[in-house]
Amino acid sequence: MNNTDPEQTLPLLLEIGTEEIPSRFLPWAISELNNIASTLFAEYRISCREISTYATPRRLSLLVAGVPSVQGDIVKEVFGPSKSVAFDEQGNPTKAAIGFAASLNIRPSDLVIKKKGKGDYVAAVIEEKGLETKTILPELLEKIINSLRFPKAMRWGHGSFTFVRPIHWFVTLFGAEVIPIEIDGIKSGNTTRGHRFLSPAAFQIREISSYMSLLENNFVILDQEKRRTLILRGLDDLASQARGQAVHDEDLLDIVNYLIEYPSPVLCGFSAEYLKLPKELLITVMKDHQKYFAVQDGKGDLMNNFIVISNTLDENSETVRTGAERVIRARFDDANFYFHDDRKKTLNDRVEELKQVTFHDELGSLFAKAERLASNAAFLAERLNPGISEKLVRAAWLAKTDLITGVVREFPELQGIMGRYYAVLDGEDRLIPQALEEQYLPKSFGAKLPETEMGALLSLADRIDNIAAFFSIGLVPTGSEDPFALRRQAMGVIAVMIDRKLAITLKELCEKAIQNLSGIKVKENALESILAFMEQRIEFILSSMGYAQDLIRSVLSLAHISPMASVRERLDALTKFRAEAVFPDFLMAIKRVNNIVPKSPLPEIRPDLLQQEEEKNLYSSFSETQDRMAKLISEGDFPAALSVFAGMTGPINAFFDKVLVMDKQEEVKLNRLSLLKALWETAASISDFSKLAS
């Protein structure tokens, strides 16, 4: 008998204690743990007031507030045999009905008749009372733990259970009661551990309400948002003491936040001599190699200070400072050596050395890559701005030379950035250095785009070569696999083309890039595959901009043969046109045209074969409209072009109302179809209206 008060609620705690989990996994783990718990609580019919998830390097914690002591009731219908099978002609239950009722532990008289599909069936309406929550929780908690999946998992000891890192303990409390679970020989309890070094002894959690404060007493700040706030406050306070500002790098902040359990900021310094090195080089050494925060002055110039977020007490700050300064000095000495060693050669001196470095086994050396890049650059300059051709081609030849410098070999993330520094020091034309850095922009979807025309064109030339080259040898993205980041590069191509409003088409770019692959056996239909791949990216980007899906589909076929900027301009015009009163009637009329015209070729329109007044009027209106449309489209005035073409609605409807298209005379029929097809093709130069929703 269930004597539990169903109105009573209690808190629930699950803590998974582990060895140090890599920081990059923890933001995902927090979200995943919350999602899994929410799903399973609903599945098990256990309500709650709030689910919170937390993580430190040594623990994942789930706190659930307002959990009822009894699972929710459920009323369910269970269908059995059809009515004709369950009851005989006298209405008595048959063996089928009796057996069905017995299987559910009810009487045949409790069965009811319910409609299911087109027939009547017997059914049992069963009210299932909720069980005590604590009897369900062992299974539920084990399922939560087993449902956590990480990008990388491991086994330990002799067990078969896998997790991101070895598990050392579980805390499972429902109110003050331990919920018993056991996974891979590890039994749950109410014992946790504090900071690995500052408070390594185990201690008990007797009340969930004191869980977080007990951890803090043992030097563990469980709440990641609180740790983040403490880190930011410490950064700003210490940087202010140095009369500077901490560089708030969000990526670094996330990493550091999940590397520590008890943040303690320490202000450190280094010799001002190192400030002669490029700012980005110093920041990269501090961030990527040591997880230190840089400090800059009000002008954005780097200062000879940095801040370490240690995982220890403030009283240990001097020891931390001494160690950090010793390490950073060694790192900066290495960076200084690479930088000055690189300066023994100019970027131009390194062009020939590109022949010794393989770009890809099937695509040749970096020198071959540079040749293709220069050819693409020359083509783009010729089409878009011949005045920068010489400088753009020069930038293309130098674009990959910093990849073989000591600094970039040691710090790959500085590709392009070091090229900019070295180009300035080499005395290259003022437009070239920034283009060398901007060739790698945008670095992700929605990220910063090149600011200069040369940078944009160099980025375009590089990315379209990569896409064409890898597609041409059959190395295309599949499913979630995209080892050469071609999806990201395709998005970059489209974003740059839209942003710069380049008067060139994707098809032209791809054709040129494929032509450059001399000596490489290009896969059949490579161009078609690339354009289809690009089309998917175009659809995604335009959708993310907020355009309606049917409008996007209506212009996708034009995206290969029209400049990307004009595709977007078409969408803007169509979006406004759709809101106008004339749109529904126009759309219906133009769809009638499309529904009747054949895909096969038709003869030229012969005015002398036009017989009825309505078809003569349609031809006359179309002839005038066609010329105006062509002019407006060439000028990019799509709103005006749509407005002009909407004027064809009346003549089109009059034609269909009065003229029999499929005339008995073959030449008359074909002439009418030719007129309609010409009309449709003119409309299709703006949009495939057949794909638009009414």
In a domain, 558, yes or no: no
CATH number for the domain spanning 580: value is: 1.10.730
Q: Are 241 and 267 in contact (CB under 8 A)?
A: yes
In a domain, 3, yes or no: no
Written as six digits, the tokens of 508 are 């032209």
| pLDDT tens digit sequence for 643-655 | 999 999 999 999 9
Is pLDDT above 80 for 466?
yes
- What span, in angstroms and rounded, lies between the C-alpha atoms of 450 and 436? 10
- What span, in angstroms and rounded, lies between the C-alpha atoms of 338 and 281? 11
| pLDDT tens digit sequence for 582-619 | 999 999 999 999 999 998 899 999 999 999 999 999 99
Q: What value does the mean pLDDT take over residues 284-310?
A: 95
In a domain, 563, yes or no: no
Written as six digits, the tokens of 572 are 């803007």
Could you give the number of structural domains in the chain?
5
Q: Are 257 and 293 in contact (CB under 8 A)?
A: no
The reply to whether 381 and 526 lie within a common domain is: yes
The beta strands (E) that lie in 286-340 are given as: 293-296, 302-310
The reply to whether 384 and 419 lie within a common domain is: yes
Burial state string for 344-365 with b = 16 or more CB within 10 A and e = fewer than 16: eebbeebbeebeeeebbeebbb
pLDDT of residue 559: 87
| pLDDT tens digit sequence for 235-254 | 999 999 999 999 999 999 99
Q: Identify the residue whose tokens are 């850095």.
A: 437
The reply to whether 436 and 523 lie within a common domain is: yes
Does the predicted TM-score (pTM) go above 0.85?
no
Burial of 129: CB neighbours in 10 Å, binned 0-12, 13-18, 19+: exposed
Residues 6+ apart with CB under 8 A from 139: none
- What span, in angstroms and rounded, lies between the C-alpha atoms of 216 and 449? 44
- Closest among 110, 118, 46 to 78, alpha carbons compared: 110
In a domain, 578, yes or no: yes
- What span, in angstroms and rounded, lies between the C-alpha atoms of 295 and 299? 11
The reply to whether 378 and 469 lie within a common domain is: yes
pLDDT of residue 682: 92
Q: What percent of the chain has pLDDT over 90?
A: 82
- Our measurement of the distance from residue 48's CA atom to the centroid of its chain's CA atoms, rounded to an integer in Å, reads 32
The beta strands (E) that lie in 205-255 are given as: 245-246
Q: Which of 342, 377, 410 is the last residue of a domain?
A: 342
Q: Identify the residue whose tokens are 């710069």.
A: 500
The reply to whether 271 and 179 lie within a common domain is: no
The reply to whether 330 and 276 lie within a common domain is: yes
Pairing of strands 112-116, 59-68: unpaired
pLDDT of residue 85: 87
Is pLDDT above 70 for 4?
no
Q: What value does the mean pLDDT take over residues 172-195?
A: 95
pLDDT of residue 470: 96
pLDDT of residue 89: 84
Is pLDDT above 50 for 2?
no
The reply to whether 356 and 328 lie within a common domain is: no
In a domain, 560, yes or no: no
Beta bridge partners of 189: 171
Q: What value does the mean pLDDT take over residues 562-581?
A: 93
pLDDT of residue 1: 40
Q: What value does the mean pLDDT take over residues 171-194?
A: 95
Burial state string for 234-247 with b = 16 or more CB within 10 A and e = fewer than 16: bbeebbeebebbbb
Q: What value does the mean pLDDT take over residues 479-508?
A: 94
Is pLDDT above 70 for 446?
yes
pLDDT of residue 379: 97
Pairing of strands 177-178, 167-174: antiparallel
pLDDT of residue 6: 57
Written as six digits, the tokens of 595 are 């529904």
Q: What value does the mean pLDDT take over residues 449-469?
A: 97
Average pLDDT of the chain, as a whole number: 93
Q: What percent of the chain has pLDDT over 70?
A: 99
The beta strands (E) that lie in 270-321 are given as: 293-296, 302-310
Number of alpha helices (DSSP H) and beta strands (DSSP E) in the chain:
27, 18
Distances (CA, A) of 587 to 186, 623, 641, 659: 68, 20, 15, 20
The reply to whether 485 and 606 lie within a common domain is: no
Written as six digits, the tokens of 588 are 């219906």
The reply to whether 195 and 284 lie within a common domain is: no
Pairing of strands 59-68, 50-56: antiparallel
| pLDDT tens digit sequence for 677-691 | 999 999 999 999 999
| pLDDT tens digit sequence for 323-382 | 999 999 999 999 999 999 999 999 999 999 999 999 999 999 999 999 999 999 999 999
CB atoms within 10 A of CB 613: 11
The reply to whether 539 and 587 lie within a common domain is: no
The reply to whether 102 and 162 lie within a common domain is: no
Q: Fill in the amino acid letter for 267.
A: L
Is pLDDT above 50 for 628?
yes
In a domain, 250, yes or no: yes
Written as six digits, the tokens of 12 are 């629930």
| Enclosing domain of residue 367 | 348-545
The reply to whether 441 and 458 lie within a common domain is: yes
Written as six digits, the tokens of 636 are 């990019």
pLDDT of residue 5: 59
Pairing of strands 112-116, 167-174: unpaired
In a domain, 551, yes or no: no
In a domain, 679, yes or no: yes
Fill in the DSSP letter of residue 289: I
Pairing of strands 186-189, 167-174: parallel
Tell me the backbone φ, ψ of residue 687, rounded to 5 degrees: -165, 150
Fill in the DSSP letter of residue 154: B
- Closest among 511, 509, 489, 469 to 359, alpha carbons compared: 469
Q: Which of 342, 366, 383 is the last residue of a domain?
A: 342
Tell me the HSE value of 422 on the side-chain side, using a 13 A CA sphere. 34
Q: Mind spelling out the 3-state secondary structure of 560-594? A: CCCCHHHHHHHHHHHHHHHCCCCHHHHHHHHHHHH
Q: Which of 178, 195, 217 is the last residue of a domain?
A: 217
pLDDT band at 640 (very low <50, low <70, confident <90, very high): very high
Is pLDDT above 60 for 131?
yes
